[in-house]
Structures are given as C-alpha cells and as structure tokens.
Amino acid sequence: MAPAFEQVPEDTETQTETPHNTPHTVNNDGQVDYKSRVTVVGSGNWGSVAAKLIASNTLKLNSFHDEVRMWVFEETLQSGEKLTEVINRINENAKYLPGIKLGKNVIADPDLENADVHFVYGETGNYAVKDANMLVFVTPHQFMEGICKRLVGKVRQDAEAISLIKGMEVKMEGPCMISTLISEHLGINCSVLMGANIANEIAVEKFSEATVGYRDKREIAEQWVRLFSTPYFLVTPVQDVEGVELCGTLKNVVAIAAGFVDGLDMGNNTKAAIMRIGLREMIAFSKLLFSSVRDSTFFESCGVADVITTCLGGRNRKVAEAFAKNGGKRSFDELEAEMLQGQKLQGVSTAREVYEVLSHRGWLELFPLFATVHEICVGRLPPSAIVEHSEQKPKLSVF
C-alpha cells in the first residue's frame, strides 16, 4: 500500500542563503551590504536566550553580520553597576539568565531609539534599532505599545520584525495582536515565533521545538528559521500568524486552569481533560476571531506542545496551584510578588482580556473554561468551579 498522502521532499534550502531576498543597505563607501543586521528588543529571561540562539547562527551564516545588538531596559544592580555594562563585560545577563554565556557577539545597548540616553558602545548617534534589517521583539506584552510609539520613524522601512511576545491588547474596537500592533505602528511586516519553550531549558541546550508563523512571504519565514534553528532548537514555519500568536497567548489561560486542578489535587485524568477542553476553546476562539486560522497549527509546537509544557512546568500553573491550595483567599498579585521574584504572570491578564472579548461579543456561554478562569481569578467563583463548569457539554462544534 502506498502512503495515502504527501511525502515531504527533502528540504534542500535549509542552509542555502538567499541574500537577494533580504533587505540590504548601501554603505558609506557606496557598496551594497547584503548582510542582515539583527537587533533583539528585550533582554529578560527569554530575550536573553533568544539572543544566544541568534548569536550562535549569525557567526556561522554569511548572510548576517556577526553582531547581535540587544536592547536592555537599563537597571542598576545591587553592586552599583549598570546591567548593560555587566552584560558586555562578562557576556552574561547576570540578572535574568545568570550562568549562561550569550556569545561575545551579543552587544547590550541601553539606547532603544536615541531619545535621551547617551550611547556609549559604538559610534555616536547610533542606537539599538538603527540599521537593523531584522527586529526581534521579546518584552513583557504590557510594554509593547509604549515601545512601538517610541520607535515610530526610527526603524528601517524595509525591516522585518518577529514577535516572541505572548498576550494581546484589548481595545474598544476589538482585540489587537502584538504582531498587528508592531505592524501598524512601524509600518513593517511582522512574523511570530512561539512554541514549547521554557527559556531556562533551552539555555542549557535541551532539545526543544518552536513554530514560526508568517503572513505570506515564505522566504522571510525561512530567514527567521535559519536565524533561530540550532541542533537542539528545531523551528518549523507555518503560514498562520494569528493562529500561532493566539496559541502562545491563550495557552497561559489554560495553564491557570491546569494549576487550579493541581491545587485541588484532582489527578491526571481531570488535568488532561481540562487541558483538552482548554485546547478546544483556544481553537474555537482563534477561528471565531480569524477565519484564516488553521486546525493544523494546533498540532505544531506552538499548539499542543506549548500547552503541555506550560501546564506541566510554567509559572502560571505554579501560582494558580498556590491560589487554589489557599482556596482563593490570597490574591494573584500577592502570590505573584511572593513566588516569582519580579517575573510577571501573563495568564491572569490574558484571561481578563479574553473575558472582555467574550463578554463584548456575547460569547461567554460558548467558552465556559475561559470565562470560569477569569471569574475564579477575580474571586467571583471558587477554584473548584473550574471542574464543575467544564463538565457542561461543549456548545460549539470546533471542526
């Protein structure tokens, strides 16, 4: 019997470089520079790991300049030193990814767009996003609107962006994905990268997968795949920006639900059921918002795998477990401050944003799990409601 469906041909392009498809610069001496420059906007835990992955590849690939510039929100450490100075001296992000060498070609830069910070590394008048053909955004999502506003008119108009940020902005006119926010403010194309990516595990080079979601240009997706892929980090492109981005965003709401189940000591069947119901609500919600979203995206790393890793080990799960163990008597803000050493939960705010969308559109009854997570987070329902409300028959046919 012959296979009933398509075999994928060997990908001969993976390490082939296509400089003519990428934006390029004319140098001061009049020569065309076909090499791309990469800047990472953000330097937290995941941003630092992303810089490490990228920096290992720019050294190897001829189509990229070696240097990877990383914009760092400047902080003064307890030692009195600036965070950027420490990163550039010891080649580690001592605060958010201690013990991991980023690569000597990662240059920390406190000046995002040459506003009010005097730049000390490199030529005067330079700043982090200047000359970058490829911009990697990886900050907490609540800072992105402000960052976008600061960057208007400061980035190359032929630059390509990619967002690693989870979350969305909910406005009067409806939800706005971060990739859309970037595209609309800066007038540039924006892809996304999401996946089962607990940063500290990738930092120590344990095998992971990720998904690049792109809009239409396959060659741009392949450029991002080359920039991020390593033998231990396998990246697959899919033509579904919204699907990939919504996976990364909504999985944190499912992780909160899974954490409640853990805190209630309900066992693995119940946890698996809640994760599955959550995944179905992710699919239904994504398809209702964007009819272009593909079912197959949810079988990629950004879908089912990220739901699994986030519900097994992530910080949303952990704090939600503590919340349920305390019977909802201690708030998420209090537990977050106590348990996360300054890192922020995305799931609680995403649950609120999703709830606003559901409420505004009259969809609350169609998404009992998403709605219930928010109601529990704000104290209107007890943690045990997560199971009781999920026992209802689904009201939406997803497929």
Does the footprint of a second copy cover residue 12 (CB under 8 A)? no
Handedness of CA 49, 51, 55, 58 (dihedral sign): positive
Question: Binding mask 278-307 vs a second copy (x if CB under 8 A, - otherwise)?
Answer: -xx--x---xx--x---xx-xxxx--xxx-
Rg of the chain taking only CA atoms, in angstroms: 21
Please, which residue, 159 or 198, has the CB nearer to a second copy?
198
Count of residues that interact with a second copy, criterion CB under 8 A: 62
Closest CA to 138 of 185, 190, 103: 190
What gap in Å lies between CA 192 and CA 212, rounded to an integer? 6
Task: Give catalytic status of residue 329 as yes or no.
Answer: no
Residues 6+ away with beta carbon under 8 Å from 89: none
What is the residue whose two structure tokens read 């050493």? Answer: 341
Taking the complex as a whole, the smallest distance from the CB of residue 190 to a second copy amounts, in Å, to 23
Nearer to a second copy, 117 or 366 (CB): 366
Decide whether 134 or 253 has the Cβ nearer to a second copy: 253
Query: Going residue by residue from 374 to 393, which x/- string records binding to a second copy, judged by CB under 8 A?
Result: -------------x--xx-x
CB of 341 to a second copy, least distance (A): 20
Give whichever of 125 and 231 is closer to a second copy, judged by the CB atom. Answer: 231
Among candidate residues 35, 130, 166, 251, the one labeled active-site is: 251
Phi-psi region of 285 (alpha: psi -120 to 50; beta: other; left: phi over 0): alpha
Query: Of 366, 378, 385, 389, which lies in the binding site for a second copy, with binding defined by CB under 8 A?
Result: 366
Nearer to a second copy, 271 or 374 (CB): 271
Per CB under 8 A, 223 contacts a second copy: no
DSSP 79: T
Q: Give the pairing type, strands 168-171 and 174-177.
A: antiparallel
What is the nearest approach in angstroms of a second copy to the Cβ of residue 268? 4
Residue of 33, 67, 75, 209 that binds a second copy (CB under 8 A): 209
Task: Identify residues 101-160 at the interface with a second copy (CB under 8 A).
Answer: none
**Which residue, 134 or 227, has its beta carbon nearer to a second copy?**
227
Residue 205 within binding range of a second copy, rule CB under 8 A: no
Nearest to 81, CA basis, from 99, 68, 94: 94
Angle (CA) 113-87-81 rounded to 5° is: 90
How many other C-beta atoms can be found within 10 angstroms of the C-beta atom of residue 190? 25
Q: Is 136 left (phi over 0), alpha (psi -120 to 50) or beta?
A: beta
Q: Is 29 left (phi over 0), alpha (psi -120 to 50) or beta?
A: alpha
**Residue 221: CB minimum distance to a second copy, A:** 15
- Among 4, 26, 115, 172, interactor with a second copy by CB under 8 A: 4
Backbone φ and ψ for 279, nearest 5 degrees, come out as -60, -40
The answer to whether 356 contacts a second copy (rule: CB under 8 A) is: no
State yes or no: residue 196 binds a second copy (CB under 8 A): yes
CB of 319 to a second copy, least distance (A): 17
Residue closest to 374 by CA, chosen among 358, 359, 396, 352: 352
What is the distance in angstroms between the CA of the first residue and the CA of the last residue of the chain? 29
Query: Alpha-carbon distance 57 to 233, whole Å?
Result: 12
Which residues of this protein are in contact with a second copy, per CB under 8 A? 1, 3-8, 11, 196-198, 201-202, 206-209, 231-232, 234, 266-273, 275-276, 279-280, 283, 287-288, 291, 295-296, 298-301, 304-306, 308-309, 312-313, 361, 363, 366, 387, 390-391, 393-399
Residues that are catalytic: 251
